[in-house]
Structure formats: structure tokens, C-alpha cells
Amino acid sequence: MSLTVIISGNMMQFMLLFSRQGKLRLQKWYAAYTEKQKKKTVRELVTLVLSRKPKMCSFLEWKDLKVVYKRYASLYFCCAIESDDNELLTLEVIHRYVELLDKYFGSVCELDIIFNFEKAYFMLDEFLLGGEVQETSKKNVLKAIAAQDLLQEHVRMHV
Amino acid sequence: MPAVKGDGMRGLAVFISDIRNCKSKEAEIKRINKELANIRSKFKGDKTLDGYQKKKYVCKLLFIFLLGHDIDFGHMEAVNLLSSNKYTEKQIGYLFISVMISANNDLMKLVIQSIKNDLGSRNPIHVTLALQCVANIGSREMAEALGTEIPKLLVSGDTIDAVKQSAALTLLRLLRKSPEYIQIGEWASRVIHLLNDQHMGVVTSAASLIETLVKKSPEEYKGCVSLAVSRLSRIVTSSYTDLQDYTYYFVPAPWLSVKLLRLLQNYPPPEDPAVRTRLTECLETILNKAQEPPKSKKVQHSNAKNAVLFEAINLIIHMDSDPNLLVRACNQLGQFLQHRETNLRYLALESMCLLATSEFSHEAVKKHQETVIGALKTERDVSVRQRAVDLLYAMCDRTNAEEIVGEMLEYLETADYSIREEMVLKVAILAEKYAVDYTWYVDVILNLIRISGDYVSEEVWYRVIQIVINRDDVQGYAAKTVFEALQAPACHENMVKVGGYILGEFGNLIAGDPRSSPSVQFHLLHSKYHLCGPATRGLLLSTYIKFINLFPEIKQEIQNILKSDNQIRNADVELQQRSIEYLQLSTVATSDVLATVLEEMPPFPERESSILAKLKKKKPNQVTENKEPKEHKLPQAQINSNADHPPAITAQAVSSPSSTGSADLLGLGSPTTTTAPASTDGGSAGLLVDVFDLVNSSSGGTSNGFDASGLTPGADENYKKFICKNNGVLFENDLLQIGVKSEFRQNLARLAIFYGNKTQFQFAGFSANLTLPGDLSSNLTTEAKPVGSLVESGAQVQQMFNVECVTPDFSEAAIFNIQFLYSGAQQKISLKFPLTLNKFIEPAEMDSPTFFQRWKALGQPNQESQTIFKAQYPMDGEQAKAKLLGFCLSVCEGIDPNPENFVSAGILHTRNEQVGVLVRLEPSKQAQMYRLTIRASKDPVAKILCDLLSSQF
């Protein structure tokens, strides 16, 4: 047994994107969950969030975590944070991510995320890392993604 | 099919389209299995695949996995992609690895090797990719392999900003996972100084890292406080154009602000006054901005702004030192309570819960009680209502307990099932904690069972029984109330349990009334028997045997029931055994034996409510041990020692069950079953003898063996110290410290006595009580609140004493006896209770003519007392004035022409009358003497006050 103290932080625990039909479109886990736990969590949360009525509070207590969710068109964005973390700012984490996707894809829709799921993950890694906000400047994140795309073009030209 | 961005993989897009076009789950699975077979054959085939193909297939596998299907191959191909020199292939490889590889996978060594290579790359984009992978997986092996490398990367001058940002958060991830492998040591100061970095993105990442480092070793990173404050200050005072892209909807750097505010919550308020002032200014600015009109109507603007505001309020609550900020925070939250945004109402209720626990803002929070009760009734979202319940619980104190508990009970009738159990616990705790009158407590708990019986856990109904057994003043009421409750046609099984237990113990207290005669009680309980489960039936059988002892007249009837086949042949072994044994017991045993076996349950040891323990378990981070808020009114229930009680007021409700063997079970009805503090009579005599003893001693003048000469050394001096002051230490030795805080209002006094255990061991059998020698019992009424019998090592417990002054002529002190067991040895301390006649004076201001007019009016010889005495203390005008004020007198200026002399006035309040008091104190520095003259409208007040006051100069 290791005697080291696990230091808990206030990081985001996970982020889920799912459609109104309950189809999972993106999942990002920042805390350790087994595959079984992940599936159970997704099932529970999708049901819970889809059953909420409009105008209800965007925050839910769930187990010992807090779930912050928001709906954009046909997609629900849902983040789990620790109970003493900042709920309002988590709503804006979601919004900033939507803005980033929107800027990159140009009026993002659910299909963009389905067909370019890897891009959605790359974008998320530039914005959030290890469950913490890494870069809040829209310009800087998009610059980093553009640099990646440029590298692709560049590589292709030289093949 | 929408456009595929960047370097698209056509085959992947086609596959995704196919899946989407599947009409059924079966068709989808079929399509996927076909694809998996295809990929497997490609990977196994002889033909070597090029990088693009590998990337495409790996990406398809990833897609299939994310759809929720298991993938058990392809990992090796993904690892191969990591060493590709094409960025996009590498990137997909890393994505697959991040999502699919568990920390203990065999391939981890290869992955770590690739990561090491990429961390050494000159291309920062490759470095970032490798860092992101480490942050996503964050395994112990990675910490071990990279724990020294990543810190270097973070502080190196050659690292570009974007890499620094990733390095900071990657390091944070490893630190959370395996701190033992992370060596930052020498770079601590450089890490702290990242808070000063030019690049806001670097500061944002670094702030998260530093917060975690601070949690690990607060001393080492203490330097971050002043840097964080100055950074915060620059942000909150900047205009929204200054920070360019780091301004979010007109709010400057909300993410960084929140991180800095959180970081500061790891430390007490800054010690350096300059830093502290600057921080206070920041917090004030944030509160001020909340009042400014919004710069945008967008919800993003208000969310970001309020995110910072709430975090600032969290910091204010954390520091808990600035009443001004706390009250402002409370007012701000009060505005949000009525906001049209549900989210804000939710958060305001949540934050207010914390404010309610601060002594500075508890009162301010209470102003919003009505709004919160309104929220409980009108909010449409159960999660908001839950917050309202939490807040009501947090803001509850003695002044509003009845109302809040009433509202919560009312709400419970319609409350959502999801929150009922917790509400029941909360109501039960509040009712117990703030009960002034235990009949109210009993009513509340029985209401809980009536309204929400299914949610009343064992802890709750056990507790009400414990309390009823320990408090003899409520037993009769409890018996009557449960009897009434059981008459309801449908009553909850928990009610039957409580009813059965209480009637079994105390049914005799109501048996005199023909409406609740023994037979009626028995039939009422037995009518519920068949509706209950086995556990309750077992309990009822025990009640029946208790009834046999309490009420011999229904013995036959009960025996018939026990004899019935239904009982002695019951299929349930437990019930069968009980029936047979109880039947035998009632047949074989003599009534003496029966009485001994079935005597009333002894009191339970005082202990923390198990309900509270349960709530803590349920919500570990939410149950703050409410600091007992100051009490605001005097409890009504005061015991008048003049009347029917002996003058020794036991502070201890717990009696020692030493009277085993005596036939006192039937003597329960006697209201005077509190134990005598100095009972040494052994077991046989029983309680009544003790009480008799006390009555004797009160008339005889010796109070339980504590006569004046029996005082603990120092008692008299310490008592005199309290003549002119209300708070302080009354007694201290190696074991125990006794502190006093007292408050007075007219003829009422309230003293909080604090017992501090200074030792390594607990004190057992702790008790404290007052005895009133001589006529004192006709001068004062005293009431001592119960105090627990255990005082843990290092703990401090509080006991409240309420005293009323009845007549204005007492000069003696009440004797204050404290007893406890320390390491098996009985300790006895006997002190003078720090309460003197002058405490009931209220100062009166007077002008010169009035004073002299009254002075002359009190010219009778028995109205004046004068003494001339030598100064015991250095003669100082200011100190003399302070002492007079402490004596509860006014100091009237400009009455005596000699400015050295003092003139004072006051009114002494008692229950029966008021006595005017006038004082002249004339110091003579030359002679080192004082002349003190006191006139009072009633004899012998002047004399008593003169003696008291002269001892202070």
C-alpha cells in the first residue's frame, strides 16, 4: 500500500455531450473511472438531465459531485465538478467551448461533431487540460488548432 | 455529409454515414462487426499498411469504441503511429492511446518512450502533444518516468508560453496522482513567480498548479499570497479593454480571478497589513461592481461577473474576519434570492448557508428568513427547494427555531420524496437542539412520524425515547401524547414503536384517567399488533410484560394473549421465545422480582445525537457544527427555588442508576427524581431518601456538606474579581479551567460557564450545581441547564445558568459545586458563584439638581451607608471610573465641584421592586484613602453595595 496522500483538487471530473435522443457524442474523463463506471454514469446522467424541464436550475447535485449542464440546439453539454467548485464559471467553460467549435466549424451543428469527433477532442485538449482551464483566450486556442491544421497541409504538400 | 475539416479521412466519413443510416440497433451492430472484421484482416494481413491507412483504421476503431462497443485490438498499431514523423498520424495515435489505454497496459513502456522522444523534440507542437497525453492518462509510471523532466520544462527560460501552460497542468495531474515522484523543491520560488508572468494563459495554468502545491505544503508556498493579491488587484481594477482577449464578455479575466480567489482561500487573511488592505480593496471593488449596471444583456456577462462575485464571497466567508464585508456579502446575496434567474437564486441560497455559520453575519442572514420560507413553498425546482431547506437549517437558532421547524414540518407534508429523509433528520436535530420546552420537542417528533413515518429512521425514534427517559419533566406529557396519537385510525408503525416503548415505561403516569386506563392503553396497543412487522411485535410483547408489572389488574388479560397459540406457537422464533419467556416470568416470579427485572430503564448516558452523526455521514461536507449562536431570550421555564423544589439545583439530568433493588419503579410519578449531587447513601435507600435529605439540609442551613469553610482555596478572591466585571476565568488548576461569560438585563441574569478539560484524559461523571445557603433561596431563583457527564480531553463544554433576582437584599454568594472523576479519583471543587447584588443595577444618568434632590430625599439613617478605607490599589481616576461603570453604575459628570470626586447613580431591579441607588466616592490621594457613601431607597441595599464596592479600591 502506498502511503501517499491523494491530493484532491477542484478540477472538472468529466464532460459529456449528448443529443436530445440521449446519444453520446463526446466524453472526456478527467478523473479515474472504470469502463463500467463510465457507462453507468453516462446512463444515469443522460436520463437525469433529459428529464429536466426548461427554466430549471442548471446545477444538480449528483452523488458527491455537482453537475452543470446547458443545452445548445440539439446538444446537451454536461460537466461534473466538485461540490465546492464554481458553478457559474463552469457554465461559461461550456459556452467558451461551444464558441470555439462554432468559430472553427463555422456555425457548428451536431453533425460537425459526429463527423469530426477527433477535432472536437483536439480542441478540448487545447482549452482544458487535466480538468483545468488551460487557455481562455479564444484567439490563442484557435491559433493553436490552426497551427496543427497548417502542419497537416504542410505535410501533405511534401508527401 | 458535412464538410470534413482539415486532413479528412474519406473512408472514415463514409463509415460514419453508414452507421447513421442504419435503421435499427441490429443493423448498426452488423455494420460494425463487418468493419471490425475488415480492420482486423488489414492489421493481420501480409501487406504492410502505410501511415495514412493505419491512422484511418485506428480512428475508425476509436469511433466504434466511443459508440459504446468494446475494442480489443489495434493498440499496437496506435503505438506505432506515435513514432510517425507525420503530425496528424502522431496526433491520432495519441488520441487513441489517451482514450483507450488503461494505466497498467503492457504497452505503457513503449508509450512512455515515445512521449520522452517527443518531449525532447525541437518542435513545440510535438512537445505539447506529448504533454497532453501525459495529462490525459496521468499514470503512476508516467509520474515516475517524467517527474523530474516536466518541472524543468516548466521553469526553463527556453520554453515557449504554450508549452509552459501544458507543462504546468500536466505536472498538476501527476502531482495529484503520485506526488512522491514529483521533485519541485528548488524551483518552488520560480513556480510561484509564474503568477507574475506576462502571459495571462501561463498565469491561469500556473495558478491551478500552485493551488495544489499550496495544499501540499502551505508554508513553502506562502509567498504566493502577496503575488496573488497584487495580480488580482491589477485584474479587478483594469478596464475591460486592457486585457484584450482575456476579457470575457466585458469581464476582465474571470477564470484567472476565480483561480486566484480560490488560491487565497488556502490561507488565513494576509498578515502583512498592506497586502491585507489591498485584498480588502479588491473584494470591495468586486462587491461594488455587482451594483453597477450590466455592460451587456448577455447571460454570459452576468454569469462571468457573478462567478467572480461568488468566489469573492467564498473568500470573505473563509477569512471570516471583516464584519463589514460579510454583511455586504449577505445583502448582495439577499438581492439574488429574488432574482429572476433560477441559477442565481440557487447559488445565493447555497452561499448564505455558509454566511449563516459566521457569528458576524448570522443575524444578517436571518433577515431573509421569510424569503427563504417563500422559496421553500414556491420554487419549482426541487434542487432549489433543497437549498432552501439547507439554509433554514443553517440559520436556525433559539429565536426562530419554533417558526422554522413549523414551516419545515408543513413543507414535509408535500415535500419531494428525494429529500424527505434528510429533512426529517434536520427537523429532529433542530427540535432537540433548540428545545426550551421538551413537550414541544416531543410534539415535533411525533408530528414527523405522523407526516413522514416512512422516512423517520431508527436514529430519530431511538432519540426521542432516549430524551423522554432522561427527562422526567416530559414523561407524563409524552405518554399522554403518544396515547392520543395512537388513536388515529391509521398510524405509522414507527408511531406504534414509540408509543409501545413509552407507554411500557410511563403508561402509569396517565393511567389515573379513565379514558386512558391500563386496560384502554393495552387494547389500543394490541389493536395495532396485527398490522405490524415482527420487530414491532417483539417490542410490543416487551411492553405487555412491562404492563403486567405496572398494572397487576390486567395481568390475567395479558397472560391470556401470551398464552394464545398465535403467540406461543408463532412461526417466528423470536416472537415465540418472547411469549413463552414473558409468560413464565409473569407466572413464576414474585411481584418483587418482577418489579426488579422490569424496572424503569435507567437514563441513557449523554452523548452526541446519533441523528447528527447520521446527517454528517449523509452530507459530510455540509454539516457544519453550527456555532451555538448567542441566545437571545431567556427561557421561560425557570425553576423557582422558593416553591416546591429543594434549593439544590442539580445541573445533571443524568442520575446514577444506583438504586437497583429498591421498589422505586412505581414511584415514577414523583416529579422530583433528579439525583442529589452528594448522595452517599448507597443503593438501598433509593431516590426518595436523597430528596428528603435535601429538603432537610435546606432548612438546616448546611448545604450538602459544603459549608463556607469547605470552599476551594482561592474561591473568595476569584469571586471578588467578578464584582466589577462580567467575563473571565473563575477557577483554574492543573486539571480544569472554568470560564464565565455573563449577561444581565434588569432583574434577569444569564451566565455561561465554560468547563475546559486541560488533561489528556476525559472527565467522567461530570456534574455542576448551585446551592443557595441561608435565605439566599428566597432572594434568587436559579436554573441550571443540563451539562453532559463526559468532558473529553482538551474539550470545553458550556453550561448555562439563568438567575432571577427576587428581592434586593442578598449579600451572600451561591455555592457552586463541581464534581467529576479524573483517572478514577473523585474531584470536588467548591466555589462562590460570581453573582453579586450590584449586577442587577442598571446605570442612570442624572443632572445636578435631580441628583441632589434625590440625595436629600434619602436622608433616613438606614438608607445610608458610609465607609472610609485605605486604598488597596494604586489610585487612578480612569481606573476608578472603569470600576464604577463595571459595577453597573453611571458616572455623572459635573455634579460634584471637585473633579477628583465621583458621583454615580443606578436603579436596582428585582422581580418585586426597584431600588434607587446613589453613590459618592471621594478619593484623597494625599492620605491614600477613600470615602464611599451610598444611599439607597431600601434597607439594607446601601450597606451591601457599600461592602461590595469598597472591596474593589
Q: How far apart are CA B641 and CA B246, in angstroms?
A: 72
**In degrees to the nearest 10, what's the CA dihedral of B874, B877, B879, B880?**
90
Residue A98 contacts residue A141 (beta carbons within 8 Å):
no
Q: How far apart are CA B76 and CA B357, in angstroms?
A: 57
**Distance (Å) of CA B887 to CA A139, B729, B949:** 72, 18, 8
Radius of gyration (C-alpha) of chain B in whole angstroms? 38
Residue B922 contacts residue B907 (beta carbons within 8 Å):
no
B383 touches chain A (CB under 8 A): yes
When CB atoms are compared, the residue of B6, B66, B345 closest to A27 is B66
CA angle A24, A27, A29 (to 5 degrees): 150
Residue B906 contacts residue B917 (beta carbons within 8 Å):
yes
What distance in Å separates residue A138's CA from the closest CA in chain B?
7
What distance in Å separates residue A151's CA from the closest CA in chain B?
7
Q: Do B386 and A133 touch (CB under 8 A)?
A: no
Nearest to B314 by CA among B271, B362, B351, B283: B351
By the 10 Å C-beta count (0-12 exposed, 13-18 middle, 19+ buried), A120 is classed as buried
Non-local (6+) Cβ contacts of B538 within 8 A are B574, B575, B578
**Distance (Å) of CA B760 to CA B26, B543, B710, B736, B757:** 71, 43, 28, 11, 8
For residue B768, pLDDT over 60 is answered with yes
Task: Give the residues across from B771 on adjacent strands.
Answer: B815
Residues 184-213 of B with CB under 8 A from A: 200-201, 204-205, 208, 211-212
The least confident of B106-115, B178-187, B503-512 is B178-187
Q: How far apart are CA B7 and CA B4, in angstroms?
A: 8
Q: Do B172 and A91 touch (CB under 8 A)?
A: no
Neighbours of B241 (CB within 10 A): 9
Mean pLDDT, range B838-843, rounded to an integer: 90
B256 touches chain A (CB under 8 A): yes
Residue B948 contacts residue B723 (beta carbons within 8 Å):
yes
Q: What is the pLDDT of residues B504-522, one digit of tens each?
A: 999 999 999 999 999 999 9
Cβ contacts of B63-66, under 8 Å, gap ≥ 24: B63/A117, B63/B12, B63/B15, B63/B16, B64/B32, B64/B35, B64/B36, B65/B99, B65/B100, B66/A24, B66/A26, B66/A27, B66/A117, B66/B99
Nearest to B567 by CA among B555, B553, B582: B582
Q: Do B383 and A151 touch (CB under 8 A)?
A: no
Please indicate, yes or no, whether the overall pTM of this predicted structure exceeds 0.80.
Answer: no
B169 touches chain A (CB under 8 A): yes
Residue B418 contacts residue B382 (beta carbons within 8 Å):
yes
pLDDT category, A150, cuts 50, 70, 90?
Answer: confident
Q: Do A136 and B246 touch (CB under 8 A)?
A: yes
A133 phi/psi in degrees, rounded to 5: -70, 125
Residue B24, helix vs strand vs coil: coil
Single-letter amino acid, residue A56: M
CA angle B54, B59, B61 (to 5 degrees): 100
What distance in Å separates residue B388's CA from the closest CA in chain A?
14
Hey, what's the cell of B551? 398494572
Q: What is the pLDDT of residues B688-706, one digit of tens each?
A: 333 333 333 333 333 333 4
Mean pLDDT, range B574-600, rounded to an integer: 88
Interface test with A, best of B70, B131, B208, B306 (most A CBs within 10 A): B208
Residue B176 contacts residue A8 (beta carbons within 8 Å):
yes
Neighbours of B826 (CB within 10 A): 9
pLDDT category, B5, cuts 50, 70, 90?
Answer: low
Residue A8: list chain B partners with CB under 8 A. Answer: 176
Q: Do A4 and B178 touch (CB under 8 A)?
A: yes
Q: Scan for cell 407534508, then name that residue.
A: B413
Number of H helices, E strands in chain B: 41, 16
Q: How far apart are CA B822 and CA B763, in angstroms?
A: 5
**Distance (Å) of CA A39 to CA A36, B99, B590:** 5, 14, 67
By the 10 Å C-beta count (0-12 exposed, 13-18 middle, 19+ buried), B4 is classed as middle
For residue B413, pLDDT over 70 is answered with yes
Mean pLDDT, range B85-99, rounded to an integer: 92
CB pairs under 8 A between A and B: 193
**Distance (Å) of CA B184 to CA A61, B187, B190, B202:** 36, 5, 10, 18
What distance in Å separates residue A75's CA from the closest CA in chain B?
16
Q: How far apart are CA B950 and CA B880, in angstroms?
A: 11
**DSSP output for B136-203:** HH--HHHHHHHTTHHHHHHH-TTS-HHHHHHHHHHHHHHHHH-GGG---GGGHHHHHGGGG-S-HHHH
Find how far residue B104's CA is from the centre of its chain: 43
Mean pLDDT, range B902-926, rounded to an integer: 88
DSSP E strand stretches across A30-131: 59-62, 65-72, 75-82, 128-129
Interface test with A, best of B91, B305, B345, B386 (most A CBs within 10 A): B91
Mean pLDDT, range B150-173, rounded to an integer: 93
Q: Which helix (H) or strand (E) holds B738?
A: strand B736-745
Mean pLDDT of chain A: 88
Single-letter amino acid, residue B115: I
Q: Do B125 and A148 touch (CB under 8 A)?
A: yes
For residue B630, pLDDT over 60 is answered with no
Residue B125: list chain A partners with CB under 8 A. Answer: 147-148, 151
What distance in Å separates residue B70's CA from the closest CA in chain A?
10
Mean pLDDT, range B779-802, rounded to an integer: 85
Single-letter amino acid, residue B583: L
What's the distance, Cα to Cα, between the start and end of chain B in Å?
98
Q: Do A8 and B211 touch (CB under 8 A)?
A: no
**DSSP output for B262-309:** HHHTTSPSPSSHHHHHHHHHHHHHHHHHHHSPPS-SSHHHHHHHHHHH
pLDDT category, B624, cuts 50, 70, 90?
Answer: very low
Single-letter amino acid, residue B949: L
Q: In what order do the strands lie in the sheet with A14-19?
A: A24-29, A14-19, A75-82, A65-72, A59-62
For residue B537, pLDDT over 50 is answered with yes
For residue A75, pLDDT over 90 is answered with yes
For residue A132, pLDDT over 80 is answered with yes
What distance in Å separates residue B7's CA from the closest CA in chain A?
6
Mean pLDDT of chain B: 84
pLDDT category, B103, cuts 50, 70, 90?
Answer: low
Q: Do B166 and A129 touch (CB under 8 A)?
A: yes
For residue B261, pLDDT over 80 is answered with yes
Report pLDDT for B165: 96
Interface test with B, best of A65, A66, A134 (most B CBs within 10 A): A134
Neighbours of B413 (CB within 10 A): 10
Report pLDDT for B538: 94
- Burial pattern B318-342, b for ≥16 Cβ within 10 A else e, equals bbbebeebbbbbbebbbebbeeebb
Report pLDDT for B403: 94
Q: What is the pLDDT of residues B306-334, one digit of tens each?
A: 999 999 999 999 998 899 999 999 999 99
Neighbours of B100 (CB within 10 A): 17
Q: What is the pLDDT of residues B354-410, one digit of tens each?
A: 999 888 899 999 999 999 999 998 988 888 999 999 999 999 999 999 999 999 999
Please tell me which residue of chain A has the smallest CA distance to B128: A126
Q: What does DSSP say about strands A132-133 and A59-62: parallel, antiparallel, or unpaired?
A: unpaired
Q: For chain B, what percent of residues have pLDDT higher than 70?
A: 89
Report pLDDT for B306: 96
Give me the interface pTM, i.e. the ipTM. Answer: 0.94
